[in-house]
Amino acid sequence: MSTPAATQFVLIDDPVVWQAALEQLPNAHPLQSWSWGALKAAWGWSMHPYLLQAGNGSPLAALLVLKRKVPRLPFAILYVPKGPAFAYEDATIRARVLTFLEGLARRERAIFVKIDPEVVAAVGAEEVEEMALGQLWLKLLRERGWRYSDDQIQFKHTVELDLDRPEEDILAAMKSKTRYNIRLASRKDVNIRLATPADFPAIATIYAETAQRDGFAIRPEAYYLDAWQRFYEAGRLMPLVAEYEAQLLAAVILVRGGGRTIYMYGASTDNERQRMPNYLLQWEAIRHARAAGDQIYDFWGAP
């Protein structure tokens, strides 16, 4: 099937139009959503959502471009988080998108433009299998003068769980110790529930506790409260908490989009760890993602 004739890239200023277009495209990601762009715009970037449309108005590609000025210099940096979104195997659209980005970088006097599309270069852990489309992308980008960056903003690797199968099959594929701990948490009265914005400050508190315990850097609390509220209001946030006798033990923040649920944030305390709350919480998160109709549960990062 031939690609519909493309017209031009249009800068979109309507969040409803943007989201409707994004949801029609393959390889769309929550980090290309209006909610994410608006969040980053509130924290030092400016957002520039571009659509490539066919002559009949249907979307062919979406590029949420984030721009940040370089202090004291007349230059900028451009970033397309987890994008652009389009049919990656379409050579015509691919060329249009890359040509547009290269021109935009020149017009904006950008030191660089960075992209991280959802193109899989390889799969596997011990035995790595290269994927043809991903390798083609790497080859074409190098030929156009793009360089692979060792400074990755998003996770370079991830683990994905296929949700398009019976729940009992997903559970059966887990290690026996994992299944045991899930059942143990249930027997020890750990309660899992969907959280609301009223829970966000408490979740942020234990997220900071988790960061300190596990030794990773985080942003100010206000950033997370802003992010969670925006995605919650957009209907794309699925926050769950684990409690024992009304005491918050752990939380997960799931973000949905493009047929997948992303385990974006996780937090826990040292309290009542013998009750294995994290096991039951993660299992219920997977069950909620599957019930919502998503096909993939993305653990959002791997070594």
Residues pairing with 50 in the sheet: 11, 63
> Is residue 147 a contact partner of residue 133, using CB atoms and an 8 Å limit?
no
CA distance 48 to 195: 32
CATH number of this structure's domain 6-143: 3.40.630.30
Question: What predicted TM-score, i.e. pTM, was given to this entire model?
Answer: 0.91
Exposed (0-12), middle (13-18) or buried (19+): which is 17, by Cβ within 10 Å?
middle
Question: Tokens 């899930």, residue?
Answer: 182
Tens-level pLDDT at each residue, the chain (303 residues): 556 666 789 999 999 999 999 999 999 999 999 999 999 999 999 999 999 999 888 999 999 999 999 999 999 999 999 999 999 999 999 999 999 999 999 999 999 999 999 888 788 776 678 888 889 998 999 999 999 888 877 877 889 999 999 999 999 999 999 999 999 999 999 999 999 999 999 999 999 999 999 999 999 999 999 999 999 999 999 999 999 999 999 999 999 998 999 999 999 999 999 999 999 999 999 999 999 999 999 999 765
CA angle in degrees (0–180, nearest 5) for 271-222-215: 45
How is the chain split into domains, by residue range? 6-143, 160-298
> Is residue 54 a contact partner of residue 4, using CB atoms and an 8 Å limit?
yes
Instruction: Measure Cα distances from 187 to 178, 195, 232, 274, 278 in Å.
Output: 14, 22, 31, 12, 14
CA distance 186 to 87: 43
How far apart, in Å, do the first and last CA atoms of the chain sit? 39
Three-state DSSP class for 6? strand
> Is residue 84 a contact partner of residue 120, using CB atoms and an 8 Å limit?
no
SS3 content of the chain, % helix, strand, coil (to 5): 40, 25, 35
Phi-psi region of 136 (alpha: psi -120 to 50; beta: other; left: phi over 0): alpha
CA distance 160 to 162: 7
Q: What is the signed CA dihedral for 183, 184, 190, 191, rounded to 10 degrees? A: 0
Neighbour tally for 170: CB within 10 Å: 18
Over residues 168-222, the pLDDT tens digits come to 999 999 999 999 999 999 999 999 999 999 999 999 999 999 999 999 999 999 9
Architecture, CATH, for domain 160-298: 3-Layer(aba) Sandwich (3.40)
Phi, psi of 230 (to 5 degrees): -65, -45
Angle between helices 176-187 and 277-291 (to 10 degrees): 100
6-143 and 160-298: identical CATH topology: yes
